[in-house]
Amino acid sequence: MASQNRVLPLAGVWLLLLGASLLAQDSLVSAAFPDPLQYKLSPGTQREFEYYQCTGDFHKANREHYRELRDVCVDCHNVYRKDGVLQACMSNCFDNDMFPVCVKESFRTERLNEYYARRLQITR
């Protein structure tokens, strides 16, 4: 009878430790991937367009401009191969400090003003 009394509290302690470790693991995963929505976005869709705060209409001309600006960011991500480069480049509808760096890294510096004009078109 005495051994049974010891087993129940031990089982409770093990369950408590298991639960705590699962919670800790979940918080580590959520810290590594802070925004799970970005992994559900299909490239070049209206949902992605709106997610990155592009406020213009998602019609054919804007889709083409958006796709071209996005391609610059994808190329930059392929150069750096670091998490978050694509999202940083596309944040605030390409109006950030990372986008000009990506244009430079993809050897398109001469087109930077053209890209700025396209960004303005898709945010109207």
Architecture of domain 34-122: Orthogonal Bundle (1.10)
pLDDT tens, per residue, the chain with 124 residues: 555 556 556 666 665 655 566 555 544 444 444 554 555 778 888 888 888 888 888 888 888 999 999 999 999 999 999 888 999 999 999 999 999 999 998 899 999 999 999 999 888 8
**Domain layout of the chain by residue ranges:** 1-32, 34-122
70 and 43 Cβ atoms separated by less than 8 Å: yes
Alpha-carbon distance of 56 to 107, in angstroms, equals 28
Phi, psi values for residue 81, rounded to 5°: 55, 45
- b or e along 68-105 (b: 16 or more beta carbons within 10 Å of the residue's beta carbon)? ebbebbbbbbeebeeeebbbbbbbebbeeebbbebbeb
What global pTM score does this model have? 0.65
